[in-house]
Amino acid sequence: MEELIKTIVSPLVDHPDEIQITASENNGLITYSLSVHSDDKGKVIGKHGRIAKAIRSVMNAATTTQTERIYLEIS
């Protein structure tokens, strides 16, 4: 899933070398924390959060099992 996130986010940002993704699991909830350069945060979030919502939709569609829930945190 980290590779999927990186593949989606890399073309959007000006500093693709500063993309960091960490994952943590807690009671069936997998939280992916995406960290980008401060100048690129707006590009990843998009107007009114549209790009972030689209990234989350693709992640949910790519989930292999229905029992785990996925959450994306952008910082």
Q: What is the pLDDT of residues 7-44, one digit of tens each?
A: 999 999 999 999 999 999 998 899 999 999 999 999 99
Q: Which residue has the higher pLDDT, 75 or 48?
A: 48
- Determine the Cα–Cα distance for residues 8 and 19; give it in Å rounded to an integer: 11
Backbone angles phi, psi at 18, to 5 degrees: -100, 15
Q: What is the pLDDT of residue 8?
A: 95
C-beta separation of 18 from 37 below 8 A: yes
pLDDT band at 68; cut points 50, 70, 90: confident
Q: Is the pLDDT of residue 72 over 80?
A: yes
pTM to 2 decimal places: 0.88
Q: Is the pLDDT of residue 54 over 80?
A: yes
